[in-house]
């Protein structure tokens, strides 16, 4: 824990430097556009889940299955996984074979928590532009 009394023992010029530094750190900063887009698009997953819940209902997490299915379809170049996996889709699962990936996707647990974790994993893999495209296509 920081002992405030130690500050009083510092020379005034050091205290002035610390004060100036803290004020500089607290100034509002401009966020770079690509980072801002990433932050904004990342949070759109919550809107998507809410829309899927409204459309598909909450019975047995059906809305999460539909969202996961559409994300997998989109990540695979708008092709069914049964037709093979695209190179981009394979990159989501580094160091895994096609068989291992398919086993993971089709045999994974059905708990709501695991579904949401997988959806978030797929969502994180998409760039901000691709997230926006996905939301436009599958909203």
Domain membership flag for residue 48? yes
Predicted local distance difference test score (pLDDT) of residue 29? 82
Give the pLDDT confidence of 62-84 residue by residue, as tens digits: 899 999 999 999 999 999 998 89
Predicted local distance difference test score (pLDDT) of residue 73? 95
Q: Say whether pLDDT at 97 is over 80.
A: yes
Output the pTM of the full model: 0.72
Tell me the percentage of the chain whose pLDDT exceeds 90.
40
Give the pLDDT confidence of 15-58 residue by residue, as tens digits: 899 889 999 999 888 878 878 778 777 788 888 999 999 998 88
Q: Are the C-beta atoms of residues 100 and 93 closer than 8 Å to each other?
A: yes
Q: Domain of 64? A: 33-138
Domain membership flag for residue 11? no
Domain membership flag for residue 118? yes
Looking at the structure of the chain, the number of domains it has is 1
Domain membership flag for residue 91? yes
Domain membership flag for residue 128? yes
Domain membership flag for residue 38? yes
SS3 sequence of the chain: CCCHHHHHCCCHHHHHHHHHHHHHHHCCCCCCHHHHHHHHHHHHHHHHHHHHHHHHCCHHHHHHHHHHHHHHHHHCCCCCHHHCCCHHHHHHCCCCCHHHHHHHHHHCCCCHHHHHHHHHHHHHHCCHHHHHHHHHHHC
Domain membership flag for residue 17? no
Q: Say whether pLDDT at 124 is over 70.
A: yes
Domain membership flag for residue 2? no
């Amino acid at each position: 824990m920081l002992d405030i009394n130690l500050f009083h023992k510092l020379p005034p010029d050091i205290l002035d430097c610390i004060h100036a530094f803290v004020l500089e750190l607290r100034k509002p900063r401009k966020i770079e556009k690509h980072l801002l887009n990433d932050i904004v698009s990342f949070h759109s997953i919550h809107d998507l889940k809410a829309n899927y819940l409204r459309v598909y209902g909450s019975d047995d997490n059906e809305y999460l299955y539909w969202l996961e299915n559409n994300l997998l379809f989109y990540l695979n170049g708008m092709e069914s996984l049964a037709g093979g996996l695209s190179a981009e889709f394979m990159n989501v699962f580094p160091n895994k074979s096609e068989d291992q990936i398919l086993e993971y996707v089709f045999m994974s647990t059905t708990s709501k928590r695991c579904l949401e974790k997988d959806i978030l994993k797929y969502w994180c893999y998409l760039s901000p532009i691709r997230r926006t495209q996905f939301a436009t296509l599958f909203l």
